[in-house]
Structure 1
Amino acid sequence: MTLLLVARVLLVALVTAVACALPVLARPALPFGVRVPPAREDDPVVAGQRRVYARVVLALGVLAAVGAVLAPSRHEWWTAAVPLALLAADSVAYGTAHARIRAAKERGNWYEGTRQGVTADTSLRTDPVRLPWWWLAPAAAVTVATAVVGAVRYGDLESTFTTAFAPVFAQAAVVLLVPLTAAVVTRARPELDAARPASSARRYRVYLHGTVAALAATAACVTVTLLLLALRDWELWTSSRWTATLAYAPLAVAALIWLTLEAKVGQAGHRLPTVPDEDPTSPLVQRDDDRHWHIGGFVYANRTDPSIFVHQRAGGASWTMNLGHWAAWVVVGAVGVVVVVALAFGGGWR
């Protein structure tokens, strides 16, 4: 029961930490998913909503932690119910901050007198950021090693081939998914600043290099975790609390890699230093496209935009689909079919 209590509190702390990080990770020009001109990035309304949101999220986290501690220990469903309720409450707080900043922007006509524009970097097409294949060597080596161990052990297992080698199949899927994901994010519409075209293009390229490196490192960490879980399922490793912790430790390493990227580089590279005189003085500000973003800036739908994937406004290194493009719905449907098939036929692997 003590472990259950600790799990509840840790889940509450995790949800609270993620909620607090969302506005911090976003670029200054996108407070709570609302596009604002540079002169308004530190507007009193924006600063005030940041303070209010932080206080509300922390207060909700404390209340949720108390609820997790006082909840009946015999009801395990509380372990998931409390964090889910906290997530819903934090989402309301985020949406409220988004709505208030957007209302102030419209009421004050913040873009009045500005010249709006967009910029493009054609070198991202002629000389795109690529994922070096050798970066996938660690993940591929771990996958091969897992397959060899599984082949040696398979004769002593009382399970079907599909069930026994499910970890290997999962590893192979991860290795294949990384270059596909890298291709998508490096060819998605870049987030460049019309007011700082040269510096934003340079920083975005550095950001993409860091992202594909983090993807390769994450693949290695995930395959190691799957190897350790396979050793447990193949009865080559005694299952205990400590071995379970060790098995999932590589995932913590992967999370640390992404957090380091966000801290040093930032969303679209906005934390990287600028070079003096890199950009000539520009009369433009980034075009206001709030009308295409919905649900607090998390959902993008623009029928006139040919891009299928665009950079997410909220959070850090994340992309979303343009739901105004027909191909996005094809992708959603394909993913749905894969999920249904996996749930229907993949229940044999614990």
Structure 2
Amino acid sequence: MAIVILRDLLGPVLLLAAAWIMPSVAKPTVPFGVRVPADRTHDPLITEQRRIYRWWIGTTGSALVLAGLVLSLLVQQVLVPVIIVAALLGVIAPGYLHARLTIRSVKQREGWFQGKRQVAVTDTARHTEPPRFPWLWALPAVLILAATVVYGVVRYPDMPATLLLHFTGAGQPDRTAAKSIGSAFGVVFLQAGLTVLLLAMAYALPRLKPDLDPTRPRRSANQNRRFASGMARTMLLVAACVNLSLAFASWQIWRGATSLAAFPIVLPTLVGAAGLLVFGLRYGQVGNNLPTDEEPANDATERDDDRFWKLGLLYVNCADHAILVPKRFGIGWTLNLGNPIAIGGFVVFLAACLVLPMLAR
């Protein structure tokens, strides 16, 4: 019973914790996705909106988690966490949008950027002196993938003639396939694809376009470099966790399991997500929580680029050649949907997600 409750509530609790701490992770000059001048980051309005948002998330979100606890006790279904997560998203979204719209409307009405010297700065060192790829941090993900492949090859002759490939919400099999390379190693193909993708992202992160503070450019660039390097290492650890989850899923298929044990599959991935959350809280988005050498502030301010951010979450700027840009509310980077290369890459990724599962049929 304790394992069932942990399985059903660990994911929703992590989501609730992430939503609650996100205002502390976000860059101070983009509260709830709204760009504000540096001298407005401690404005009473922004402080009040953070308080209201957290009160809303804390009370309603906790009530939903408790309701999920009761639901998991009454109905032992693997879809319970999915239902709770969907309900939590229905609570988080209006809380975020209310805070965002309130701050943005006051900012526009009072002209917070009026008379400000808006400046954009960049860090050329990310191209001329890029950090080394952390190969040792990549080893766990690669070794888990290699071990999964070796075990599968050795196990293949003794696998059942019919493999169970899909399970219902109750964990019971509802689709089978005759043993073949595709059906037996479909999850491994997915595992390999995700490993390559996450390793490529870890390599690219320190070279992506930074979001620097022109009031203290050197200090901001230092924080951004440290954040990108730390994020690359964390991404590699997440890759290892995801590989462990998929390895266990393959193992259940290969041994001919008659029912799905979902918790051991999702647990490593949830641990990786928790590690990413801890990293974000410690570092802050783009490294704004990291201590560094102080630098006297100048009279510049960041550009008011809210027009390129839809809801503060989606970035659309056809004039910007960057494929990925730092998120405004969250940890990491997001696609520039105004860049054709970014859109094409996203379409290819979606196509791969659809094609790879078909290999298992």
TM range (shorter): 0.7 to 0.9
Provide the residue aligned with 1:342 in structure 2. 356
Distance 1:106 1:250 in 2: 45
Amino acid of the structure 2 residue aligned with 1:89: V
Give yes or no for the alignment of 1:222 onto 2:242: yes
Amino acid of the structure 1 residue aligned with 2:22: L
Report the TM-score when normalising by structure 2. Answer: 0.84
Give yes or no for the alignment of 1:128 onto 2:130: yes
Distance 2:92 2:287 in 1: 27
Superposition RMSD in Å: 2.8
Provide the residue aligned with 2:26 in structure 1. 26
Would the alpha carbon gap of residues 7 and 40 (structure 1) be closer, same or farther in structure 2, given more than 3 Å must change?
same
Amino acid of the structure 2 residue aligned with 1:269: G
The Cα of 1:291 is off from its aligned counterpart by 1.2
Task: Please list, as runs of the form range in 1=range in 2, the aligned pairs for 1:158-169 lying within 5 A after superposition.
Answer: 158=161, 159-169=179-189
| Contact 1:5-1:69 within 8 A present in 2 as well | yes
| Contact 2:317-2:338 within 8 A present in 1 as well | yes
Task: Please list, as runs of the form range in 1=range in 2, the aligned pairs for 1:178-189 lying within 5 A after superposition.
Answer: 178-189=198-209
The Cα of 1:274 is off from its aligned counterpart by 2.5
Task: Please list, as runs of the form range in 1=range in 2, the aligned pairs for 1:1-350 lying within 5 A after superposition.
Answer: 9-65=9-65, 67-68=67-68, 73=74, 80-157=82-159, 158=161, 159-235=179-255, 245-276=263-294, 279-295=295-311, 297-316=312-331, 318-343=332-357, 345-346=358-359, 348=361
Would the alpha carbon gap of residues 175 and 12 (structure 1) be closer, same or farther in structure 2, given more than 3 Å must change?
closer
The Cα of 1:104 is off from its aligned counterpart by 0.8
Percentage identity across paired residues of the two chains: 33
| Contact 2:11-2:270 within 8 A present in 1 as well | no
Amino acid of the structure 1 residue aligned with 2:333: W
Tell me the secondary structure at the aligned position of residue 310 of structure 1.
Answer: strand
Would the alpha carbon gap of residues 188 and 63 (structure 1) be closer, same or farther in structure 2, given more than 3 Å must change?
same
Tell me the secondary structure at the aligned position of residue 165 of structure 1.
Answer: helix
Tell me the secondary structure at the aligned position of residue 301 of structure 2.
Answer: strand
Would the alpha carbon gap of residues 292 and 82 (structure 1) be closer, same or farther in structure 2, given more than 3 Å must change?
same
| Contact 1:117-1:286 within 8 A present in 2 as well | yes
CA displacement 1:305-331 (0-9 Å, x = unmatched)? 121211111012x21111122222212
CA displacement 1:274-294 (0-9 Å, x = unmatched)? 314xx3441111111111111
Distance 1:271 1:39 in 2: 17
Unaligned 5+ runs, structure 2: 162-178
Would the alpha carbon gap of residues 337 and 214 (structure 1) be closer, same or farther in structure 2, given more than 3 Å must change?
same
Distance 1:303 1:64 in 2: 40
Distance 1:69 1:149 in 2: 37
CA displacement 1:209-247 (0-9 Å, x = unmatched)? 111111222222222333333333322999896xx6455
| Contact 1:300-1:323 within 8 A present in 2 as well | yes
CA displacement 1:253-308 (0-9 Å, x = unmatched)? 423432332232221111111314xx34411111111111112x101111211212
CA displacement 1:14-42 (0-9 Å, x = unmatched)? 43223212222101111111111111111
Which segment drifts farther, 100-109 or 224-233?
A: 224-233
Which segment drifts farther, 266-275 or 159-168?
A: 159-168
Which segment drifts farther, 184-193 or 23-32?
A: 184-193
Unaligned 5+ runs, structure 1: none
The Cα of 1:67 is off from its aligned counterpart by 4.4
The Cα of 1:113 is off from its aligned counterpart by 2.8
Distance 1:196 1:141 in 2: 42
Tell me the secondary structure at the aligned position of residue 320 of structure 1.
Answer: strand
Would the alpha carbon gap of residues 149 and 281 (structure 1) be closer, same or farther in structure 2, given more than 3 Å must change?
closer
Amino acid of the structure 2 residue aligned with 1:334: V
Report the TM-score when normalising by structure 1. Answer: 0.86
The Cα of 1:69 is off from its aligned counterpart by 5.6
Would the alpha carbon gap of residues 209 and 83 (structure 1) be closer, same or farther in structure 2, given more than 3 Å must change?
closer
| Contact 2:202-2:233 within 8 A present in 1 as well | no
| Contact 1:131-1:213 within 8 A present in 2 as well | no
Would the alpha carbon gap of residues 70 and 165 (structure 1) be closer, same or farther in structure 2, given more than 3 Å must change?
closer
Would the alpha carbon gap of residues 298 and 220 (structure 1) be closer, same or farther in structure 2, given more than 3 Å must change?
same
The Cα of 1:70 is off from its aligned counterpart by 6.2
Would the alpha carbon gap of residues 74 and 34 (structure 1) be closer, same or farther in structure 2, given more than 3 Å must change?
same
| Contact 2:131-2:229 within 8 A present in 1 as well | yes
